[in-house]
Amino acid sequence: MTTIDRLDISIHDLYAKRQVMVEQINQQFRLQEAQTIPAQTQILNLNPELTQLDILLGNIPSNNPWAFFLPPKAKLRRSPFVAFRVASSLGSLEEQANLFYSIQSLKTSTPAEEAEKQAILECFKQLDELNEWMGFIFGRKGQFLQG
């Protein structure tokens, strides 16, 4: 069983250092003089201060508005780097469907041409599936932004 007299000397040194730090804090904040301040005294501090927990966690609340300007009245142009569907260079969805049906109706004479035709048709089917996925993702993103 360990008692206080059997502890390592470094424990006593750390205790003494902590006591000195506590005394310095008491002197710095004048805690001995705090008893003389009447209870009716109020100090108004208009500067907002973060709590110690917010400082430790890095959570800094902000009440700033999102923008200081009105949105433009003209219709916004979409960024060329953001697309709502895959391979938009193939035209609109109707043009893409017409292209799919025209490729499907092509006659082939060799098995190699037939394999190429099937590969292209599979690519179109995959593009349709990817477009559906992107529509689902953008729909969920819109739901998230709303609520």
Give the pLDDT confidence score for residue 50 in this predicted structure.
66
Residue 121 located in a structural domain: yes
Give the pLDDT confidence score for residue 19 in this predicted structure.
95
Q: Which two tokens stand for residue 124?
A: 């179109």
Task: Give CA–CA dist 130/68, Å, rounded.
Answer: 38
The contacts of residue 120 (CB under 8 Å, 6+ apart) are 103
pTM higher than 0.85:
no
Residue 19 located in a structural domain: yes
Residue 2 located in a structural domain: yes
Q: What are the tens digits of pLDDT across the range 28-72?
A: 988 888 788 777 777 777 666 667 667 777 776 666 666 666 666
Task: Give CA–CA dist 132/126, Å, rounded.
Answer: 10
Least confident of 33-37, 62-66, 117-121, 128-132: 62-66
Domain that holds residue 13: 1-34
The contacts of residue 31 (CB under 8 Å, 6+ apart) are 25
Residue 30 located in a structural domain: yes
Overall number of domains in the chain = 2
Residue 15 located in a structural domain: yes
Residue 63 located in a structural domain: no
Residue 23 located in a structural domain: yes
Task: Give CA–CA dist 21/59, Å, rounded.
Answer: 28
Cα R_g (the chain), whole angstroms: 36
Residue 74 located in a structural domain: no
